[in-house]
Structure 1
Amino acid sequence: MGKKKAALMALPAGSRLVLPVMAATGGSGRSTVADLLAGAMTAAGTRTVVLDTAPRLSSPWPSWTTGQETGGLAALPPDRPLTRSQVQNAAAWRQAGRDAGWQVLTDGRDWHSPPLALPPDPAAWLQLAALGGWQTVIADTTHPVAHDILDARCAGRIGQTRAWCELPYAVPVLCAAATASGVQALQQAVMALDANGMPLQRTVAVFVAQTDGRLPAIVRAGATMLTSRAAAVVHLPHDPHIRTHGLRIATRLRSRTQQAARSLAQAVLAAAGFTWGMPLPDAPRPAPLAVVSPTSR
């Protein structure tokens, strides 16, 4: 208490850190973690974007960025070259208006608009973020991690989880509800990650509290188990404002919520520094992806 908070390390201008936020089940607080992490990373002085990979009607991001005159993902044609200004102008802003804060690439159209065919390949999302010039790329993913790993292994292909984890300078963030069922789902995901050679040593685990008070014993035991296997374990406390109002307006967050977001950002930067060194090396420029014409149905 009373000590000055250590400043978060800003990323070098030419670097790019990729943070896929994943979970084994729904209800794990994945989007909340992605948003809080984006705010904390922006406070460190990095240009940050959240990539909303969910279909529009199952995503909270359109409502969290409503009322902005941006084209969103629908304004970015998949079969034509894009410019940086096109990508930047398609992104909505969070919290601090047009001149500060962080950006979100989501589909903000009306609910009755035809669904978008979002790219399944994480490399396509990275290419979009690289074109936009962002340094911190946070992907709010939708696939269930453990199922995806098992399904990919049985089918003999690269799954979404591995593809996200193998992107250059990727630090996975694995979320779980701080409940008995959340711990069980997380433990299964960790076993699947470990058995398939996924990078647990640079994965940050986040337990998202569902209520106030002391964490259940099973959650504390699960966190202890993960401490020696993951890069870090962070606890996100319960915040009544988020539970009641969501994150469309995030000005009444508890100070301990903001501190937990800061601790998560510190853990991510520490994992990146331990793996690749700091300052982070310059990011590679993704090669152009082949344009695939949509199949007529």
Structure 2
Amino acid sequence: MVPVIAATGGSGRSTVANLLACGLALSGRTAVLDTGPRLSSPWPAWTNGQAVQGLSSLPSDRPLSRAMVHQAAAQKPGLAAETTWQVITDGREWHSAPLALPHDPAAWHQLAAIGDWQAVIADTSHPVAHDVLAARCEDRTGLTRGWCDLPFAIPVLCAAATASGVQALQQAVMAMHAEGLPLQRTVAVMVSTSDGRPPAVVRAGATMLAPRTFAVIPLPFDPSIRAHGLREPARLRSRTRQAAAALAAAVLAASHATWGEPLPQALRPRPLSSSVPAL
């Protein structure tokens, strides 16, 4: 499970989740779960034209089967011609009533387990540092801890490669460190917003973050993403493809360093009682 998190909006979470899925799809069955509200998410547009209803087709009051989950997922092309991966988002028209999506990361983990994917990326929408501080002040479990505590979770922490982005990232890292969250298996991604060499403050921030996280991966600017989104990976620059591969490799390396190689068997949902009719 790979929760993609950030301290602020505009940090490139969805772009990172998309490229990470492209990279991980080369190693196994991969899916992305879109946990954000429909009208603030790019995923419906990136999957436009596919006849799937997505999250709205998964009933919350009945048991789910693997077939139901896969039928709700849209297909996306990977970096290689022969690879694909899946994404579950809200595929309805924009004017449809908003869905009541679950907040508990465990609910999304159960959906991932039913889908029986080998790698699942969760595109989250909550602000990390605010969530950690609010949870501490209110004496409750925050969303960030909920995602990080899931079985075999490798958090990916995103930030724009700007002065303000680095500052927000550093604050998020300090908040996560104060709460004892697993920075040692967290991968940080610096998302460039323009061509050229990153500013000195960004390079200094990456150097400072390197000892606290498992890895710091730079994601270069790609004009194709700005112009066309991520509907067509074939348009991506070679260095963007290399960064996606490096990000996937860092996530896999963090998981192997934490839990060994090969990875242990993933947890699965508890079997249904015989009193519940099979779907």
| TM-score tier after normalising by the smaller chain length | over 0.9
Match of 2:245 in 1: 262
Matched, 1:73 2:55: yes
Structure 1 residue 100: Cα displacement = 4.6
Matched, 1:51 2:43: no
1:58 corresponds to which letter in structure 2?
S
Matched, 1:241 2:229: no
Matched, 1:40 2:23: yes
1:77 corresponds to which letter in structure 2?
P
Structure 1 residue 250: Cα displacement = 2.3
What is the aligned counterpart of 2:158 among 169, 175, 184?
Answer: 175
Matched, 1:163 2:155: no
Match of 2:194 in 1: 211
Structure 1 residue 52: Cα displacement = 0.1
Match of 1:274 in 2: 257
For 1:261 and 1:288, locate their aligned partners in 2 and report how far apart those are by CA, in whole Å: 36
Residue ranges of structure 1 left out of the alignment (5+ in a row): 1-17, 290-297
Matched, 1:189 2:172: yes
Structure 1 residue 69: Cα displacement = 1.1
Moved over 4 A (4+): none
Match of 2:276 in 1: none
TM-score normalized by the length of structure 1: 0.89
Matched, 1:201 2:187: no
Match of 2:203 in 1: 220
The secondary structure found in structure 2 opposite 1:126 is helix
RMSD, aligned α-carbons: 1.3
Match of 1:135 in 2: 118
2:94 corresponds to which letter in structure 1?
W
Structure 1 residue 165: Cα displacement = 0.1
For 2:83 and 2:253, locate their aligned partners in 1 and report how far apart those are by CA, in whole Å: 25
Matched, 1:87 2:69: yes
Structure 1 residue 249: Cα displacement = 2.2
Residue identity over aligned pairs, in percent, reads 68
The secondary structure found in structure 2 opposite 1:248 is coil
For 2:105 and 2:271, locate their aligned partners in 1 and report how far apart those are by CA, in whole Å: 13
Count of aligned pairs between the two proteins: 269
> How big is each residue's C-alpha offset from its partner over 1:111-141, in whole Å with a ceiling of 9 and x where there is no partner?
1111100010111001011101111010000
Matches within 5 A, 1:102-141: 102-141=85-124
Residue ranges of structure 2 left out of the alignment (5+ in a row): 273-279
Matches within 5 A, 1:5-24: 18-24=1-7
1:253 corresponds to which letter in structure 2?
L
The secondary structure found in structure 1 opposite 2:5 is strand
Structure 1 residue 82: Cα displacement = 1.0
For 1:203 and 1:244, locate their aligned partners in 2 and report how far apart those are by CA, in whole Å: 30
The secondary structure found in structure 1 opposite 2:234 is coil
For 1:140 and 1:49, locate their aligned partners in 2 and report how far apart those are by CA, in whole Å: 11
For 1:115 and 1:229, locate their aligned partners in 2 and report how far apart those are by CA, in whole Å: 39
1:275 corresponds to which letter in structure 2?
T
Of the structure 1 ranges 241-250 and 169-178, higher mean CA displacement relative to structure 2 is found in 241-250
